[in-house]
Amino acid sequence: GGKGKGKDGKGKKKGKPPRPTDPEAPIGERRISDADTAQADNAQRSHGVVTRLLRDALLHRTVPSLSRALDDARAAKMSGPLVDQAEVTLLELQMEASSTAAEAAAAAAAA
């Protein structure tokens, strides 16, 4: 059977444009659907900036950069896997930091 040829009525419906909120939608398509107001344009731009901040923060894995990026993400009303990942990473780092501090304190007390 030739895949993608002919209308057999089975399978996924093709030709349905992705929803603007669909994370799988190409950025270009999302931008077009959002560009009807300047406000949406700004949101789009800030989402791009925040996405870069989050990626950066995840790369460096520092608490300040992650919490700043997450603050921005919340301000931009952003959500998604990247935000989730940043939140998880931030929690892990904070737990690591506090357990390291606790160990250091215990070691100091034992000394």
Residue pair 55/82 in contact (Cβ under 8 Å)? The answer is yes
Q: What single-letter amino acid sits at 38?
A: A
Position of tokens 């896997």?
Answer: 81
Residue pair 79/49 in contact (Cβ under 8 Å)? The answer is no
Q: How many CB atoms lie within 10 A of CB 31?
A: 17
DSSP string spanning 74-101?
A: HHTT--SHHHHHHHHHHHHHHHHHHHHH
- Beta carbons within 8 Å of 58's beta carbon, 6+ residues apart: 66, 82, 85, 86, 89
Query: Which residues of the chain are modeled with pLDDT < 50?
Result: 32-35
Please tell me the predicted confidence (pLDDT) of residue 6: 57
Tally the residues of the chain: 111
Please tell me the predicted confidence (pLDDT) of residue 34: 46
Indicate whether this model's pTM tops 0.75.
no
